[in-house]
Amino acid sequence: MKLYIIGAGPGDPDLITVKGLKLLQQADVVMYTDSLVNEELIAKAKPEAEVLKSSGMELVEMVGIIVDRLKQGKMVVRVHTGDPAMFGATMEQIALLRKENIGYEIIPGVSSVFASAAAVGAELTIPDLTQTVILTRAEGRTPVPELEKLRDLAAHHCTIALFLSATLIKKVVSEFIEAGWSEETPVAVVQRATWPDQLIVRTTVGKLEEDMRSHGIRSHAMILAGWALDPEIHGKEEYRSKLYDKSFTHRFRRGVKP
């Protein structure tokens, strides 16, 4: 017996992996996060599949149904938004499955952080500017470990991607400033990345709170911050990869000395 945990991607039903789609189409039972996963994707399940919405279920109820169907010999898939590894709440489901001696396989998906970067045409790691991306969230009702406060992470002055933080912008801005970030630091906010109603707001740390309020953004938003999000970065010659420099030698090409 094995549960398949599938990353559905950020919204666009075409952004599920080929493997994830095949498993979805083969499944006898499909349980999905109906508040986040696109219904167009779930419609690709076979007509006779049992489709279950999980938004109104609590953990024990949800896993109990999964275990029951698996013990009936049915193929079950659990469809999560984005990639299950990022704020997917999969660990506690797996813990209960293990108590029942039930295995699992995770099929990765496209995370909203990368869908958002694609939407704004950004590379999050720029040579000689930043080579690190921190994926995190602001501290709200769910606490963060003491060593992972945003102001401490922001002290690295690299690219930061904030999940689940749209209602905590005042705190976010305060911690960026405390970490020494300039108010002019570029920020891109992408609400509902890859959905038909996707909204992109380009702003700065200093104007972030005002711009999110004026656009009514309070949920389903990815916040990308740092100088890699500079909309003028493409015209700055000092930030170029060594890989394609004509003087750079590697196993497939011999560089030419200037």
| 178-225 pLDDT tens trace | 999 999 999 999 999 999 999 999 999 999 999 999 999 999 999 999
Average pLDDT estimate for 52-66: 95
Closest of 8, 162, 148, 180 to residue 77, by C-alpha: 8
- Find the helix or strand (DSSP H, E) in which 51 lies: strand 50-53
pLDDT exceeds cutoff 90 at 20: yes
| Residues 68-125 pLDDT 10s | 999 999 999 999 999 999 998 999 999 999 999 999 999 999 999 999 999 999 999 9
Inform me whether the pLDDT recorded for 258 exceeds 70: no
The answer to whether the beta carbons of residues 14 and 44 sit under 8 Å apart is no
Q: Residue 245: pLDDT above 70?
A: no
Strand, helix or coil for residue 236: coil
Distances (CA, A) of 16 to 80, 108, 131, 197: 11, 9, 27, 19
